[in-house]
Chains A and B, each alone.
Chain A
Amino acid sequence: MDVTTSSLTSEDLDALREVSNIGAGNAASALSRVIGDVVSLEVPVVRALELSEVPTALGGVEQKVVAIHLAIHGDVTGNLLITWEPAAALSLLRRMGLAVTDIEDPRPILGSALREVGNILGSTYLSAISRLVHQSLIPSVPGLAMDMAGAIADLLVIDLSAPTERTLVLETSFQEKSGPIQGRFLLLPDPRTLPALVRRVRSLP
């Protein structure tokens, strides 16, 4: 089967959104255990973006974003990025009980906390997808970056051979009692393993 992210049909995207929805729902309940508050997740919007459009989707090429990277190993390989605007990352840290007023605060515990949140969200998300499609998606240790959206997006292009490859961008909004924390999941399956993933998604009831 010849499938690239550019050749996905709207039915494929719907199916991937459904799969991601379930994954993100599990991620939200995992997050609620961490920040000790009721967290629900709004239906994520799934878009297939060309990679050149990713920095704009993250707020602008020179805009500061907080990003967690998890490399995906297993039957399906690729990359997962979880991003927040700085203000959203700051409220996330505060709701974890950390006294912080500036996202540039250099204390290592803040980076560790963000990496841990990314790890929990990413692992839960990937394992939910894994169970649905009966393929393994194993996350690497999380990496943290806080910089220009364009510079962060370099990472997504490195493994791709075609500049027109697309990434799946899932807009998520974690809704909890004291207000929403908006974030994004960017799932970029390796072009080599995308066909297997799509085949599984297409065969879901």
Chain B
Amino acid sequence: MTPGALQPALLPAPRVISIGEFYLGSRPERLIIYGLGSCVAVLLHDPVLQASCLGHVLLPQPTAGRTQEPSGRFASTAIPQMLDLLCRGGGHRERIVAKVVGGSQMFRYERSAPAPGIGSRNVGAVLQELDRLRIPLAARDTAGTHGRTVLVDAGSGTMEIRALRVSVRLL
């Protein structure tokens, strides 16, 4: 027996998904988004395939002059591509469910603006796109005024959400 065999199996570090990226992972991969503020983490998961596609979106949709940007930055363009990626990887549309995290209003103003902030507009756009694609929403942890770090176990689709003032939550 080699000495290494006595060591507990070390999990590789989770893969970081930055703003505008999406990534398809499967067991035993773990994916992470650090410090999610007004951005939204979108997870598409196929429980039979035991695989998940995690996206990190910044804005609802590309506005005029911003159509050349990476499509992963926008809810309306990222989610169809994520669905396509998961299906091409063996996912079945009728099994795929979604989880949505983030969309906070990070800054508080003295006389708070009546207009909805970018965080809630992001969440609205994500839910609308999921609805349009008929992907059921399995869970969500959205809005609020706090930042979140989201660790995803790609195989099970479990999301572990950490925040500074809120205890760890599993979705």
Contact = CB atoms under 8 A, between A and B. Distances in A.
B109 A163 contact: no
A107 B131 CA distance: 41
- The interface residues of chain B, by DSSP majority, are classed as loop
Contacts of A144: 107-109
Given A104-B165, A148-B147, A154-B39, A69 B111 contact: no
B115 to A, nearest CB: 13
A145 B37 CA distance: 11
A62 B69 contact: no
B149 interface: yes
Interface string B108-152: 111100000010000000000000000000000000011111000
B35 A150 contact: yes
Given A149-B35, A150-B147, A163-B70, A141 B110 contact: yes
Contacts of B58: 154, 157-158
Interface in A45-102: 52, 55, 61-62, 64, 67, 69
Contacts of A67: 107
A55 B37 CA distance: 12
A195 B76 CA distance: 32
B19 interface: yes
Interface string A151-173: 11111011001110000000000
A151 B66 contact: no
Max chain A Cβ within 10 angstroms of own Cβ: one of B35, B69, B111: B35
B59 A158 contact: yes
Contact of A158 (B18, B36, B38, B111): B38
Contacts of A153: 35, 37
B13 interface: no
B164 interface: yes
B20 interface: yes
B35 A61 contact: yes
Interface in A100-132: 104, 111-112, 115
13 contacts: A61-B34, A62-B34, A62-B162, A69-B107, A115-B110, A143-B109, A147-B37, A148-B35, A150-B37, A152-B37, A152-B147, A154-B19, A163-B70
Interface of A: 52, 55, 61-62, 64, 67, 69, 104, 111-112, 115, 141-145, 147-155, 157-158, 161-163
Given A141-B111, A151-B36, A154-B58, 17 more contacts: A52-B18, A62-B34, A62-B35, A104-B165, A112-B110, A141-B110, A144-B108, A147-B106, A150-B147, A150-B149, A151-B148, A158-B38, A161-B66, A161-B69, A162-B69, A163-B19, A163-B70
Q: Which 5 A-B pairs give the minimum distances between C-beta atoms?
A: A150-B35, A151-B147, A143-B107, A151-B37, A154-B37
